[in-house]
Amino acid sequence: MDDLITSPANPRLKLIRRLRERKVREQHGLFYVEGIRLVAEAIQQDWPIEMLVVAPHRLSSAFAWQHVEQARRKGIRILEVSPQAFESLALKENPQGIAVVACQRWAPLSMVNPNAGELWVALEAIQDPGNLGTILRTAEAVGAKGVILLEHTTDPYDPVAVRASMGAVFTQQLVRTTQDEFLHWCAQTHPPLIGTSDKARQDYHEFSYPQGLILMMGSEREGLSPVYAALCQTMVAIPMVGRVDSLNVAVATAVVLYEIFNQRRRRENRTRMGVSEEQLS
């Protein structure tokens, strides 16, 4: 363990603060995670961690100290800092005094296999990191395998996205790809693609979703672009009444994912009971 760092001007702390910028995160392949719950999740998931940052005089939780000791046993570098030095890193007021600098982890597009029954979400040009983090959290809740980030989508390792994911950033597979790569991959593998549009004629609730699929969601403002919509076997719409004509993209994604999830649960229950689809029709 290094000596206690008291100066916010320390070079290592300067680098950590710069991880708030996407270009710096991508340059170093790192990101910053703050708070007891998220740090504990990273350690429990054996996520690759560059260093654990602790302000001992701020840390009063036994649960947090257990994870500090667990990190020490794993050989993770521990950086002890003063409360003032930690506050220079903090993303919010009254920080809990524990954070990690973690390594980014990306999965290749080639590992995505909805034809084997996997559920994935593909996002085009999602701009709000809070929306992205919420989608990650929902994807984890319904048992999705991961999220594919198409071009011009915000960074899942943005501090706002990490916090909104409530730890799902450590459990969901993350794939980053270009339009050309994705189109080529689709031509080779023919994955089941289901898209969403307010102009679609198919009600999302009445559609029978395949066991494995990629749910494609478009940007907050424009929705799914024509090039991706054309790839989809089916486009579904969420019906709305009242004066609103659209939903927040994280909410819309959750609505459709839970329909897919509930259809899967019903199929699994019927299978356990030995009831076939033919008997139900």
What contacts 226, CB < 8 A, 6 or more positions away?
none
Residue 97 has pLDDT above 90, yes or no: yes
Confidence bin at 78 (pLDDT 50/70/90) = very high
DSSP SS3 for 153: coil
Q: Do domains 11-103 and 109-273 have the same CATH topology?
A: no
Give the pLDDT score at 277.
Answer: 54
Average pLDDT, stretch 16-41?
97
The whole-model pTM stands at 0.93
Residue 279 has pLDDT above 60, yes or no: no
184-193 tens-digit pLDDT: 999 999 999 9
Give the pLDDT score at 111.
Answer: 97
Is 91 within 8 Å of 162 (Cβ atoms)? no
- The residue extents of the domains of the chain are 11-103, 109-273
Average pLDDT, stretch 67-95?
95
Give the pLDDT score at 1.
Answer: 53
Tokens 């667990």 correspond to 70
The CATH number, out of the four listed (3.30.70.860, 3.40.50.10240, 2.40.50.140, 3.40.1280.10), of the domain defined by the range 109-273:
3.40.1280.10
Distance (Å, whole) CA 194 – CA 210: 9
Whole-number mean pLDDT of the chain? Answer: 95
Q: Which CATH architecture has domain 11-103?
A: 2-Layer Sandwich (3.30)
209-266 tens-digit pLDDT: 999 999 999 998 899 999 999 999 999 999 999 898 889 999 999 999 999 999 999 9
Confidence bin at 276 (pLDDT 50/70/90) = low
Give the pLDDT score at 92.
Answer: 87
Is 137 within 8 Å of 115 (Cβ atoms)? no
